[in-house]
Structure 1
Amino acid sequence: MKELEAIASQEVDWLGYTFDNILRAFLNTSFHHQLSVAAWRLPNQQTQHVILDTSEVISSTDWQLEELSPGFVASPFINADEESPYVRADIYYQSGKQQCQTASNAAQTAKIYSSLQQQLRQNKSAQIHTVPLNNSFFSAEPAKFSDIVANAVKAIEQGDFKKVVPSRNKLVSLPDNFDSARTFQQLCDAYPAAFVSLFSISGVGTWMGASPEILVSTYRQEQRRVFRTIALAGTQPLQGKDPLRSAAWRQKEIEEQAMVSRYIINCFKKIRLREFDEDGPKTTAAGNLLHLRTDFTVDMEATNFPELGSVMLRLLHPTSAVCGMPKEPSLEFIQQHEGYDRSFFSGFLGPVNMQDETHLFVNLRCMQLLGQQAILYAGAGVTIDSEPHREWEETEMKMRTIQKLMIDND
C-alpha cells in the first residue's frame, strides 16, 4: 500500500496549485468518470480537504459510524432505512501537505491520477453532477408560508406539539460565470466559524453549504476520546459594534433554544448517560446571523461508551432544531403541510473516521446546484409565541447567507 501511494503521489504535481484549482480538478474528474467527490473545511480551521471515491458504483452505508472506512456521509432529512450515500476516501488531498492516500486498485488509481493531472493543467470551470428539476418542490410565496406558520401555532395551542420547524425553498438563477470550486473557497473565507462542505454524486446531485450546527463529533482531545454535540436555535441579524455582548433575546427564542437543549439531555437520559458537560447558552455568530448555542461534551472513555457517536446519531436525527418537539407529531405536521421534499436539507453530512475523527453537521445554510440554477432552503422554529411575518423574515435572512455569494462570483 505504501509503495502504491508513493508511485501514485509522484504522478500528480500538486505544488503551485491553489486549493480551488485542485478542487476544480477533483470535480471535473468526478464528472467525466461518473465518480463521487466531497470537500469540506471544519469550523475555525484553515485546512481544506477533498476526497474522491474511485469505485464506479454509488457507495452507501448505514449509520454504524465506528465500523466505516474513512469517507464522507450525506443523509437526507427523511431516512427511515438509515442508508446514506457515502463517498469513500480512495483519493484524499489535504491542503498544505501535497499528499494523497489511494485505493488498492492500481489500474483504476493510475487512470484517475492521470485525469486529475490533466484537469489541473486545464483548470476549466468545475462540472458537477445534477439531477432533474421538479417544479412542484417550490413553496416561496409569503402567504403560503405564513399560513403554514399560523396552522402550526394553532396546533401548538391545541397541544399537538410544543415546537415545529417548517421550511421553504426557492429557485434562483446563477450568474453565467458561477463556479462551484470558487464558491466553495468564498464560503470558507466568508464563514470561518462554519462547516463548509460540497458533495457531488452521480444520480444524487450536488449540494454546497456553510452550516453552523454540529450534530455529532467524536475525536481525541488530550489523550481522551470525546463526544460532542450542540443545541443551536434562535435567530436574529448580526448588527451593532459588539453584537455578541449587546444581543437581546426575546422569550420566544430563549424558549426555542431551551427546547433543543432539553431534547439532547432527554436523549442522554434514554441511554442512562449522566456524565456530561454542558456549556451555555451563549450568543454565537454564524455569518450575518446570531444564534443561541449550548455545547454538550462527553468523555467516551470515562463513560465506557465507544459507540456513543452512532447511538446518539440515531437518537438525535432529525433534531428538534430542524424538526420539532416532540419529534413524531412535529414530523407528521411537516410532511402534511410543507408540500415539498427537503431531500438533503436539514439532513446531516460530514467526514467519518478521517484521521481518526468524525464530524457530522446538520445540513443548514445550503443550496442544491442545478447547472445554471440553484435551490435555496431555510426553516424557522415555530413556538406558541411565533408571528408568521417574523418567521418568513427569518427564512429570508438565512437564505441571504448563501445567496449573496452568488451575486458576485468573480
Structure 2
Amino acid sequence: MSFGLRTDEEPTELVVESASDPLALMARLAGSGLFDDYVVYERPGSYTFAGGALGEVVLDAGAVHTRWPGSPPSARPWSGRPADALRDAFAAAPLPVWNAYGWIAFEFAAPRPAGRLAHLVVPRTEVRVEDGRAHVTGVDPIETEQVAKLLAKSDTLPSGIPSPVDVRVGGEVYRTRVAQAVQEIHDGLYQKVIVSRRLDVPFPVDVVSTYVRGRRANTPARSFLLDLGGFQSTGFSPEVLASVDPDGRVMTQPLAGTRAFGLGSDADARVRRELETDPKEIFEHAVSVRTSQDELYGVCTPGTVQVTDFMTVKERGSVQHLGSSVSGTLASERSAWDALDALFPGVTASGIPKTEAIEAIGRLEEPRGLYAGAVVTLSHDGAFDSALVLRALYNQDGQAWLRAGAGIVSGSTPDREYEETCEKLSSIAPHVVPLP
C-alpha cells in the first residue's frame, strides 16, 4: 500500500481516471471547502493533495504539540535540536503507516528560536495524481467518495485575473542593509549572508488562483500550496533543500548566482554567458556547493558524497541560476532528521558560515517565518522531501506579502543586489490574483 493511513479500520482506496490538468485538480480540491487544512506538493511528474488532519504536530519555541487519533491532544516542553523534537513526536504516532506534510520556519535554526517553528499534519485524505490517474486514499469513506466525485468533473477552475504587484519599492532601506552586510563581511564577521526584503501586497489575495497563475508561468523544482491553521502560502521553489529516499540516499541542490530570464532569446543568452563568467557569481556558487558537501560529510558514509551537474544553469521563472547537485548515502545510524538538521536552513538562503550568517540575519531583518524555511513531506519508511521556500506568497489575517533576498559577498554592490531581489520577486509578483 503506497498511501495508507490506518486508525482502527482499513482506509478506502480509489483510482479515478481524469483528463483534467493536474494543476486544475489540485486547485479544485483546495477550493472545494471540504478541508480546513491542506497541503499541495508537486514533485517532477507528480502532484499530491493532503487534506484534513488525522494527526498533527506543531512545534513552538517552548513546546511540541501533538494530536493523534484515539488520544487527547498533548503538549510537552522540548530542548536540544528541534529536529529531534519532531522525530520523537512522529516516533510516538499510533499509526503504523503514515505520510505527513507541512512547513518549517527559518527560525527553526535560530540560536534563540521564537514563535511557531513547524506545523505538520498526517492527512485524512490523500490524492496523488500521476499519468492521468488520481489515486485517492482516505480514512472516511464518505469524504473519499466526495473527493472522487470532484476529481471526476471535467470542468476547469477559473484562475482569476492577476493584479501585478510593484516590486520597485523599499529600495533605500534594502540598499542600506546590503551596505551594512558588506561592511560586516569586510570586518571578517562572515563570508556571505543572504539579505532579504518583505513586500506587502496592498489588497486581499486569492491564494489558490495565484497558485494556478504562478505555476503556469514558472518552472520550479517543487511547487506548493498550503493552508494550515489559517496561514496560507503558495510558492514555486527553485531548489530542493533535502531529499532522502527510504534507502538513505540524500540529495541537496544548492543554487547560487542569479540573473534575469525571460527577456527574449538573445538577451537571455547574453545574460547567461555573463552569469557563467562573472567571478562574483562563480565564487558565490562554489562556496555554497562546498558548504553543502561539508554538511553531508557529517551525516553520510565516508566516500559517498559527490557533486554532479556542477554549475549548470537552471531556468526558474523570471530568473536563471547556477546550480549543482550534492548527494551521499546516510550513515547507518543516521536518518532523514539528521540530514534536515545538517542542511537546514539552506546555505543559499542563509550564508557562510551558517551560524554567523543566521545571527546577522537576526540583526538585519525582521523575523522571516516561512520565507527561506521549507515545505516538507515525510513518511513512516524514512523518506523525506523538502522544498526551499523562495519565490512564494504568504497570507495571514487578511494581509499578504512577498519576500526575496540576494546573496551578499565582499564584492556585492547595493544597487545590483536590489536589482536581483526585483528579478526574483518578478517570478510571482505579476501573477498575484485579488479576491473577487
Choose the corresponding residue for 1:110, options 125, 142, 166.
142
Whether the 8 Å CA contact 2:300–2:329 is kept in 1: the answer is no
For these two proteins, the number of residue pairs brought into alignment is: 376
Local SS of the residue matching 2:371? coil
SS at match of 1:381: strand
Contact 1:268 / 1:274 at 8 angstroms: preserved in 2? Answer: no
Deviation of residue 278 (structure 1)? 0.9
How far apart, CA to CA, are the structure 2 residues paired with 1:139 and 1:74? 29
Deviation, structure 1 residue 358: 2.5
Q: 1:17 to 1:3 in 2, by over 3 A?
A: farther
In structure 2, the CA distance between the partners of 1:173 and 1:373, relative to structure 1 (3 Å rule), is farther
The Cα of 1:325 is off from its aligned counterpart by: 1.3
Aligned to 2:196: 167
Residue of 153, 175, 181 corresponding to 2:182: 153
Indicate if the aligned counterparts of 1:231 and 1:294 stay in contact, CA closer than 8 A.
yes
Q: Name which of 351, 354, 357 aligns with 1:327.
A: 354
Q: Find the aligned partners of 2:216 and 2:168 in 1 and give their Cα distance.
A: 31
Structure 2 unpaired stretches of 5+: 1-5, 60-84, 160-166
Structure 1 unaligned blocks of 5 or more: 127-137
Equivalent residue number for residue 141 of structure 1? 170
Change (3 A) 1:155 1:198: same
- Mapping 1:4-403, distance limit 5 Å: 4-6=11-13, 9=14, 15=18, 18-20=21-23, 22-29=25-32, 35-42=36-43, 45-55=44-54, 59-60=57-58, 62-64=85-87, 69-79=98-108, 84-95=118-129, 96-103=132-139, 106=140, 110=142, 114=146, 141-173=170-202, 179-203=206-230, 205-219=231-245, 225-238=248-261, 240-241=265-266, 243=269, 246-247=273-274, 248-271=276-299, 273-275=301-303, 276-279=305-308, 280-300=310-330, 304=332, 307=335, 309-338=336-365, 340-353=366-379, 357-370=383-396, 374-403=400-429
In structure 2, C-alpha distance between the alignment counterparts of 1:155 and 1:51, rounded to whole Å: 44
Q: CA deviation at 1:365?
A: 0.6
Q: TM-score, normalised by structure 1?
A: 0.79
State TM-score, norm by structure 2. Answer: 0.74
Q: Which moved more, 1:261-270 or 1:342-351?
A: 261-270
Q: CA deviation at 1:334?
A: 1.3
Match of 1:196, SS? strand
Cα offset, 1:156, TM superposition = 0.7
Larger strand proportion of the pair:
2
**1:306-355 Cα distance to aligned partner (Å, 9 max, x none):** 61x321210221232111111222212211121x2211000011322399
Residues 71, 89 of structure 1: 8 Å contact kept: yes
The one-letter amino acid of 1:359's match is: D
Residues 354 and 192 from structure 1, CA distance in 2 versus in 1: closer, same or farther, beyond 3 angstroms? farther
- Quote the offset at 1:212 in angstroms: 1.1
Letter of the aligned partner of 2:314 in structure 1? T
Q: Percent sequence identity over matched residues?
A: 20
The 1:111/1:394 distance shift into structure 2, 3 A limit, reads same
Letter in 2 for 1:313: L
CA distance in 2, matches of 1:253, 1:18: 37
Secondary structure at the aligned position of 1:367 is classed as: strand
- CA change 1:363–1:246 in 2 (3 A) is same
Specify whether residues 179 and 277 from structure 1 end up closer, same or farther in structure 2 by C-alpha distance, changes over 3 A only. same
Secondary structure at the aligned position of 1:342 is classed as coil
C-alpha deviations, 1:104-155, integer Å up to 9, x for none? xx4xx535754885899899889xxxxxxxxxxx995211111111111111
1:287 CA drift (Å): 1.6
**Cα distance in 1 between the residues matched to 2:369 and 2:148:** 30
Correspondence for 1:132: none
